[in-house]
């Protein structure tokens, strides 16, 4: 009789340990792909790592800062506006259930000797399951 109870106890104890491990194994590792693509874009742009940036952007990226519109061309290693690191606060934006961009709580741009800081938006397009940056926009606020 004691062996039966011991076997039941061991079975219950093992099932309690295995269930959380199985649930943990199903959780995705790292950030979602749209956040990862946006982080890669912002980090490579801020550090001017053009070749790495090309992997997550379209050929040209329109950058709207306040009333100004600038062009970012990673293949040509050219940018009319520079992103100043750091940035913070990334959150996914969906339109009709489809991921269309990532909101950035705080980012900073430098055009010439003028710096603009504030919230922004990184526009995304999904191609074959991968996200590509198509545009960036930010309101014009002085630091």
In whole angstroms, give the CA distance from residue 48 to residue 58: 16
Query: Can you give the pLDDT of all 143 residues of the chain as single tens digits?
Result: 566 665 565 565 556 655 555 555 566 678 899 999 999 999 999 999 999 999 999 999 999 998 889 999 999 999 989 999 899 999 999 999 999 999 999 999 998 888 889 999 999 999 888 999 999 999 766 55
Q: Check residue 78 and give left, alpha or beta (phi > 0: left; psi -120 to 50: alpha).
A: beta
Structure-token pair, residue 128: 């074959």
DSSP β-bridge partners for residue 114: 111
Please state the pTM of the whole predicted model. Answer: 0.76
């Amino acid at each position: 009789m004691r062996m039966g109870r011991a076997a039941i106890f061991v079975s219950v104890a093992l099932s309690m340990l295995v269930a959380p491990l199985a649930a943990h194994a199903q959780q995705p590792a790292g950030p979602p792909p749209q956040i990862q693509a946006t982080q890669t874009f912002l980090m490579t742009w801020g550090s001017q790592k053009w070749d790495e940036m090309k992997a997550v952007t379209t050929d040209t990226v329109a950058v709207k800062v306040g009333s100004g519109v600038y062009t970012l061309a990673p293949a040509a290693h050219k940018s009319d506006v520079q992103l100043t690191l750091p940035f913070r606060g990334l959150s996914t934006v969906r339109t009709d259930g489809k991921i269309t961009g990532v909101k950035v709580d705080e980012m900073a741009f430098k055009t010439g000797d003028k710096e603009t800081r504030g919230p922004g938006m990184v526009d995304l397009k999904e191609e074959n399951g991968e996200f590509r940056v198509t545009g960036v926009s930010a309101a014009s606020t002085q630091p």
